[in-house]
Structure 1
Amino acid sequence: MATYNKRGYKPKTQKEKVEIVEEESTTAEVFNSLDEGASKAEEWAVRNQKYIIGAVAIIALIVLAVMAYNKFVAEPKEKDAMNEMYTAKKYFNDAVSGVSSDSLYQMSLDGGEGKYGMLDIINNYGGTPAANLANYYAGMAYLNLKNYEKAISHLDDFSSDDKMLNPIAKGGIGDAFVQLNQSDKALEYYEKAFQANVNDYTTPLYLLKAAKVAISLGDNSKALGFLERIQSEFSTSNEMKDAEILIGKVEASL
């Protein structure tokens, strides 16, 4: 700012006087413009205050309704669903252990002892996290029961960011497509499975499965990439030995 704008400064020349007048005039115009804008806003607010108050009230009611729904409907519903799922999960876990597997997988789907099965959870508690998880269990149960279409349907309905369940669900879909002789779709889901999360268990597992399917499709170059990744990143995995054998075979064919 010029020195003649300081407090108490008196302009010495006509030019300085003109500049000060122009500056004061511009400042006044700015403040007048702001005052006019504020006045218009106030007038608009006064004219529309009923609508404004109504809108605020509606938003407040929506927020309160959502909070009330979550507290008095969604949370109790989810708790009931998880309680109902306990027996079905027990059947599933026992089936995984290998004791009367087929019948137990079926009981995990249909329920028993007066308790819901996974299909009941899905049908009666739709939209809850429990129903979502029930789709995972139902899909894996159907996969083990060799009902591959239903396995794909339920696993595809399952959604999760869980580091293990997410890749296993996608890998399960890949396994089902293999059994249905749809190798191209199987490869797609095996790739999704090992891309979903990088860990020492699921990643080398689905890399190896993807490599085997790629070989069956005649894509040895892609298969070699999967196998070499196992060799370089997961050399201590259970899949390493098979990967090394396949690397030799694939390299010989290229």
Structure 2
Amino acid sequence: MAKSRKDKRNEETLIDVVEVKQGAQEYFEKNKTMILGIITAFLLVVGSFLVYKFMIQGPKENAAKAAIYKAEAQFQRDSFALALENPGGGFEGFLDIIENYSGTETANVAKLYAGICYMNVGRFNDAIEYLNAHSAKGTYAPILKHGNLGDAHSELGDFDSALAAYKKATTVGEDELLTPYYLYKLGLLSKRQGDTAGANAAFQKIKDKYPNSEEGTKVDRLLATID
């Protein structure tokens, strides 16, 4: 009797398995077109991404890197107007790099360059536009982005935005040269705006963390002037 019940349970289990398999098969047969369509669409998306990444984006990035070098050379010479639009030798300036190689990391870097160039030629609203468009990565780029935004807003008389940008520049990353430089600007502008606590905090941070920097040699005098 026990064996019979065991055989019956095994038979029921087998029937359940068969029914599940048949159910899945029937579902597939009924919905085969839809399922295959979904799989095909997924493969197309994955395939398109791989084609874009390796056959389009890769060569485009390499071309952008080759194209930007002359503009970078003019930037290093402080020839900011030339770097923006006409670096010479038939090469593209930063603005053309941004337009012609959209979506590449080189075009993203060109936005930072363009923002700094506009800052240096006195076109502060344009500087803000390109700096905000730049997606800052790494150690130096975020500091430069927000520090230059602080400079541009300050030049336009928007001191609240300038203070916010300088604060971001001093906290978004850390560098022995750039961080004390923007802490110093933050302290000076805070003092100008009547925020003595903010000024004191910025100058004291320079004194404590960057005493050997150029700004570190000036902060004792400034700290003494804060009530």
Q: Report the TM-score range of the alignment, normalised by the length of the smaller protein.
A: 0.7 to 0.9
CA distance 1:247–1:41, shift in 2 (3 Å): farther
Partner in structure 1 of residue 54 of structure 2: 71
Per the alignment, residue 62 of structure 1 pairs with: 45
For 1:106, the equivalent position in structure 2 comes to 81
Alignment of structure 1 residues 108-187 onto 2, 5 Å: 108-111=83-86, 112-187=88-163
Q: Which has the larger radius of gyration?
A: 1
- Does structure 1 retain, via aligned residues, the 8 Å contact 2:72–2:83? yes
Q: Per the alignment, in what secondary structure is the counterpart of residue 59 of structure 1?
A: helix
Q: Distance in 2 between matches of 1:106 and 1:34?
A: 77
Q: Distance in 2 between matches of 1:113 and 1:161?
A: 30
Match of 2:178 in 1: 202
Q: Scaled by the length of structure 1, what TM-score is found?
A: 0.78
What SS is found at the alignment partner of 2:77? helix
**Residue 45 (structure 1) shift:** 3.2
Q: How many residues align?
A: 219
Judging changes above 3 Å, is the alpha-carbon distance between structure 1 residues 210 and 33 closer, same or farther for their aligned structure 2 residues? Answer: farther
SS in 2 for 1:235: coil
Output one character per residue of 1:123-179: Cα deviation in whole Å (capped at 9) or x when no partner.
222222111111111111111112211111111111121201221121011111111
- Aligned equivalents of 2:20 and 2:167: distance in 1? 59
State, as a whole percentage, how many aligned pairs show the same letter: 29
User: Does structure 1 conserve the Cα–Cα contact (< 8 Å) formed by 2:136 and 2:145?
Assistant: no
Q: 1:236 offset after TM fit, Å? A: 2.2
Q: What is the Cα deviation at residue 189 of structure 1? A: 0.4
Structure 1 CA distance for aligned equivalents of residues 21 and 207 of structure 2: 70
Cα offset, 1:32, TM superposition: 8.6
Is 1:87 matched up with 2:70?
A: yes
RMSD across aligned positions (CA) = 2.4
Structure 2 CA distance, aligned partners of 1:246 and 1:175? 21
Structure 1 CA distance, aligned partners of 2:212 and 2:21? 71
Unmatched 5+ residue regions in structure 2? none
Partner amino acid for 1:107?
L
Partner of residue 211, structure 1? 187
